Copies of this chain bind each other. A is one copy, B any other.
Amino acid sequence: MDSPLDIEDIARRSGVSRSTVSRVLNNQTGVKSTTRERVLEVIRELDYQPNQAARALTMQRTETLALVMPVFLHYLFGDLYFPAFVRSVYATATQRNYLVTLWMGEKQTDEQWLYQRMIKRRAVDGVLIADAPDDDWLTEQLHIDNIPFVVMGRSSLNNVNYVDVDNRQASRQAVDHLMQLGYRRIGTITGPLNHTAGRDRLAGYTDAHYAAGRPLDQTLIVDGGFTEAGGYTAMQTLLKCGVDAVFAASDQMAIAAIRAIREAHLEVPKDIAVVGFDDVDEADQHGLTTVYQSPEAAGEAMTNLLIDLCLQKTPSVPRGILLPTQLVIRDSCGARLRGQFPNKTNGTRKQGLRE
């Protein structure tokens, strides 16, 4: 009673061979429907499930994914993006009959250990990387060992499968929006330019200018390094150049910029309009117009892509998936002040982005 059932038990009880039971289990064709019913009945009655290890051994496939998370959890769960992302990964994996194992290494040694334990031992079929570490030792290693993986965020390396939001397109849309509202001198606070997201968001800014036939003023492009402090000082620089609007490449920098503007005794959006990127939780409190990206869509896309990768053994050409975004109009861009977007779109989102 204590030792679990095996496929032979089911075979005996239903008067067939284990081959037939196996066929029913994996619902393959070529089993007489009456037989199938009988076997299914026994399986249901005994609540039998095939042994994971045995199945993995023969099939050479564990149907389990690893999810690599940023090292520091408290940093991680500072906003609701990651929890939602993780949930989505789990939901999608579950739907496709996959298990997910969290990879949560602390020190560098843990990383090594986890690699041995999860990858080398073939405890998982593939890896989801939720953050792209700077020295992508992991990425490198996975590549060498030919293990399927998908990273979040467009990688500068090619040959890497990734899922990202369409930073360039989204940024362009944000800047277009400011232009439509009539702003003449639009500055931008960029992320670090050795970072793809930083570059892509700047590219969107320049795209908008080219498309509008406006010249690019290099003095209006200031690096904020994706940090609070960087955003603050960048804004101080921009204030000297006389801008009437600013596109910040992250909400964190945008919020710092607003602070800098207020401290210069100017008003947002009356004197200077601000648009951010990310739509973090605080964005709403600050009335920040920004670009929303869906963690659910990202998790779903990554997971589906990875599972597809795991299932086909022939290594295919790497794919990059760009997810759509949504501009969330709140107060900081001045659209409502100027009577546009009166109160129809009142700064909420999430409708329509995912169908």
Contact = CB atoms under 8 A, between A and B. Distances in A.
Contacts of A2: 146
Contacts of A120: 4, 47-49
Given A2-B146, A99-B117, A122 B87 contact: no
A109 to B, nearest CB: 10
A242 interface: no
B121 A49 contact: yes
Interface in A176-197: none
Given A102-B102, A118-B99, A57 B51 contact: yes
B47 A53 contact: no
Given A2-B146, A100-B101, A101-B101, A122 B74 contact: no
A86 B104 contact: yes
A116 interface: yes
Given A57-B57, A77-B77, A122 B86 contact: no
A142 to B, nearest CB: 14
B87 A106 contact: yes
A15 interface: no
Nearest to A80: B74
A40 interface: no
A205 interface: no
A123 interface: yes
Interface stretch (A90-98, A148-156, A264-272): A90-98
A110 interface: yes
Contacts of A102: 90, 100-102
A50 interface: yes
Nearest to A73: B83
Contacts of A49: 116-117, 120-121
Contacts of A51: 57, 121-122
A100 B100 CA distance: 10
A103 to B, nearest CB: 9
A62 interface: yes
Interface string A50-73: 111111110000101000000001
Q: 6 smallest A-B Cβ distances: which pairs?
A: A49-B120, A53-B56, A73-B83, A52-B121, A77-B77, A52-B123
13 contacts: A4-B122, A49-B120, A52-B123, A53-B54, A53-B122, A55-B121, A64-B101, A74-B80, A77-B83, A87-B104, A94-B113, A99-B117, A101-B101
